[in-house]
Structure 1
Amino acid sequence: MYTLKRIWLQKDPEVFLQWQKLITRTGLAVGEEVAYTVGIFDQQTLIATASCYANIIKYVVVCEKKRSEQLLTQLISHLSDHIKDEGYTKSFVYTAPKNRLFFESLGFREVLAAQDILFMEQGVPSYESYAQQLQRQRIGQNNGAIVMNANPFTKGHLYLVETAASQKEQVYVFVLSEDRSQFSASERLRMVTEGLAHLSNVTVLPTNNYLVSSAVFPSYFLKEQAPEAIAKKQAAFDATLFKEKIAPLLAITTRFVGSEPYSLVTQLYNEAMAAVFSPELELIVIDRLKINQSTVSATKVRKAIAEKDLLSLQQFLPETTFSFLMQHNYI
């Protein structure tokens, strides 16, 4: 008789070792974020496991000798119920392409198959609804794109967009929808929209779950804490999703990014895009804006906010962002 129960990876070293061995035997790398893990035990031996972070299912593994016993169905059903109990209306899973039929039988739909990864989703809103939203915004045939967190929106971001807008018919600025920053997704979207309102050939859009999110690129939010090998793989996957699933919908031929002197993960992302995009998409790297010999960055701005350094804020922020911070009592 097997037992399914929650595993506390940080509190039970013995079970953690069993879990780690089970994961690594399948070729997966330990190091991604998980918040909830369950295991199926044969007495004291872990024979199957699955985890999730928010609504993203990860590390789904059944030991080789038990793969004929329908343990996957128990794991996924349990995690799906947990995700719904947490208030989510959809869930994602990374899996091997060989598992496609199994997950399709549970109602999952393919978002992207790339290399040895199959990325699927279940529930609403779906990728298809997001794709329809993007298609309604399509203008022109030779367009550019920028993806930004804008935490908050700075003169550096503005300079990047204005440079792109001077070179393309239309520029689509995607603002990260993930709420893992000092400013919320709605606040950042508003700051970007207000800051770019004077540019007639710029459209501001949310990323939802499909660009630089916990679902496709969680290492981005861990920055230097992220294992480099995992960050590289996720960066390449995110770049592939953009190239195959986003760019064609909006006739995007060029992605613009800022140079990255500070963050290793962001630099890895830029390198992954250059490798994945070629030759279909062009990647243009714009040198970061400097003001009085100081490179503008959102990190410096957040430090200035914490220190109530109004002089630096006025120097680094467009009027629209400075007014937003004043109105909402951030400074």
Structure 2
Amino acid sequence: MYLSDPMTMRQWKEFLESQGIQEFRSSEVEPLEETIGLFDEDDRLVATGSLAGPILKYIAVRHYDSEHSALFNRIVGELVARLADRGVAHYFVFTKPRYIASFEHVGFTCLARVERGGLLESGMPGIDTYLEHVRDLGGWQASAAIVMNANPFTLGHRRLVEVAAHDNEHVYVFVVHENRSLFATDERLRLVREGVADLKNVTVVDGGDYLIGFAAFPAYFIPSSKDVIDYQTRLDATLFRDWFVPALGITHRYVGQEPYSSTTQAYNQALKDVLEPRTKVTVIERRQVGQEPISASRVRRLIAQGDVDGLEDLVPPTTKIFIQDHLAQLQMRI
């Protein structure tokens, strides 16, 4: 189905709306790379599904159809086959809780479930393989953890890591894996590793497919926009609690205070609600320069302005050097 065609898009949306899916924000629809549909003898759409990278989205089957299960299996099977043609062997789906069993029946494993939705994966390598790789980085029995986007790595991030490293025998710093930031994933990993290289009890890890930033979790099946943040933050926290905490012995999770972002405040609260008392969540006050907290967004504004000198008190020398060397390239991305 070619959603660029207005008539096809209307048919697709009307069908999904008839199946209870009402959310078609650009952030949900624009990432779709391919959409397929099954039609009856009267050319009416009876089932559909889409792909956005390794994520299966907008899967729906006409409720009253007697072949509901068979149609569901055909749609999912075809999407998986098309991923295989692309060389993608590991994929995810986010869905309403009542449909989790249907996906489990066709080979998916539920990674996390909250009141409003669930996250499942299938294919290889899975989360066990990822966590085994992280464990192989060292034999620590207990660790603290920090998850950061670091877009880019600032002295605020550095202070958060310093506090955790001082108070714990070992610290994992997970860098969110996604390339929609100004700094690409490999660049952010490099800057974090360089920025904490002197802290010998700190291990910097690529978040892989599992730590991608809660805001990236699809939420097209959540009927109320006010519930989206609650669903996304709690699903992210539950995934961390159920898999990362036991596999890596995470006893503490450190986060930065966020006075200006209600979304981040909600996430910090979700972490506390979900992780404690098993894993203690510690909120660290933000480091300030010039009566304003150090933030990556503040650094990005200076990059846009070409003000490299203004970065002096905001980022480690390694980050400043990288920005100086790649300023023109970074400005072209903005």
Which category describes the TM-score, using the shorter chain as reference length? 0.7 to 0.9
Say whether 1:196 aligns with 2:196: yes
Q: Which residue of 2 aligns with 1:154?
A: 154
Once superposed, which parts of structure 1, at least 4 consecutive aligned residues long, lie more than 6 Å away?
none
Q: How far off its partner does 1:110 sit?
A: 3.7
Structure 1 residues not aligned, in runs of 5+: 1-5, 221-225
Q: Matched residues in 2 for 1:46 and 1:85: separation? A: 25
Residue by residue over 1:84-104, the C-alpha shift from the partner in whole angstroms, topping out at 9 and shown as x without a partner, is 444533211224566566545
1: CA distance between counterparts of 2:217 and 2:108?
Answer: 24
Question: Do the aligned residues in 1 keep the contact of 2:97 with 2:113 (CA within 8 Å)?
Answer: yes
Match of 1:264 in 2: 262
Equivalent positions of 1:25-44 (< 5 A) are 31=25, 33-34=28-29, 35=32, 36-42=34-40, 43-44=42-43
Q: Does 1:244 align with 2:242?
A: yes
- 1:300 corresponds in structure 2 to 298
Moved more, 13-22 or 97-106: 97-106
Equivalent position of 2:56 in the other structure? 57
Structure 2-normalised TM-score? 0.84
Partners of 1:24 and 1:261 lie apart in 2 by 36
Q: CA deviation at 1:255?
A: 0.8
- The letter for the 2-side match of 1:94 is F
Q: Deviations over 1:118-142 (max 9, x none)?
A: 4322233321210111222354444
Out of 287, 290, 295, the residue aligned to residue 289 of structure 1 is 287
**Distance in 1 of aligned mates of 2:66 and 2:119:** 21
Show the counterpart of 1:48: 47
Partners of 1:219 and 1:231 within 8 A in 2:
no
Residues 1:7 and 1:90: Cα distance change in structure 2 (over 3 Å): same
Offset of residue 322 of structure 1: 0.9
Does the 8 Å CA contact 1:146/1:256 hold for their aligned counterparts? yes
Amino acid at match of 1:24: G
Superposed counterparts of 1:1-331, under 5 Å:
6=1, 8=3, 11-12=6-7, 14-24=10-20, 31=25, 33-34=28-29, 35=32, 36-42=34-40, 43-66=42-65, 68-69=67-68, 70-95=70-95, 102-104=102-104, 106-115=106-115, 117-213=117-213, 217-218=215-216, 227-330=225-328
CA contact (8 A) 1:176 1:211 kept: yes
1: distance between equivalents of 2:149 and 2:206? 10
* Alignment size in residue pairs: 317
How far apart, in 1, do the equivalents of 2:263 and 2:12 lie?
27
Corresponding letter in the other structure for 2:52: Y
Structure 1: distance between partners of 2:153 and 2:112 = 31
Where 1:137 maps in the other structure, the secondary structure is coil
Q: Which has the higher contact order (CA 8 A, sep 6+)?
A: 2
Task: Give the Cα separation in 2 of the matches to 1:219 and 1:121.
Answer: 13
CA–CA separation in structure 2 for the residues paired with 1:72 and 1:165: 49
**128 and 295 in structure 1: CA distance in 2 versus 1, 3 angstrom threshold:** same
Please tell me whether the aligned partners of residues 255 and 282 of structure 1 are also in contact (alpha carbons under 8 angstroms).
yes
What letter is aligned with 1:19? Answer: F
Query: What one-letter code is carried by the residue in structure 2 that aligns with 1:236?
Result: R
Q: Secondary structure at the match of 1:65?
A: coil
Report the Cα offset of residue 146 of structure 1: 0.6
**Aligned in 2, Cα 1:67/1:323: closer, same or farther, shift over 3 Å?**
farther
Aligned-partner residue type, residue 242 of structure 1 = F
SS at match of 1:211: coil
Q: Which runs of 5+ in 2 are unaligned?
A: 219-223
| Distance verdict in 2 for CA 1:142–1:91, change over 3 Å | closer
> Matched residues, percent identical?
36
Does the CA contact (< 8 Å) of 2:97 and 2:115 recur in 1? no
**1:40, CA displacement in angstroms?**
2.6
Deviations 1:192-247 (A, max 9, x none): 0000001011110111111234xx64159xxxxx9442222011001000011002
Task: Give the direction of change, closer, same or farther, for the CA distance of 1:59–1:66 in structure 2 (3 Å limit).
Answer: same
CA shift, 1:10, in A, is 8.0
The amino acid across from 1:63 in the alignment is R
Deviations for 1:57-97, whole angstroms, at most 9, x for unmatched residues? 12322122115341112211222233344453321122456
Could you say which residue in structure 2 is the equivalent of 1:223?
Answer: none
Summarize the Cα distance change of 1:185–1:288 in structure 2 as closer, same or farther, 3 Å threshold. same
The alpha-carbon deviation at position 182 of structure 1 amounts to 0.9
Once residues 177 and 209 of structure 2 are traced to their aligned partners in structure 1, the CA distance between those partners, rounded to angstroms, is: 7
| Counterpart in the other structure of 2:221 | none
Structure 1 length-normalised TM:
0.85
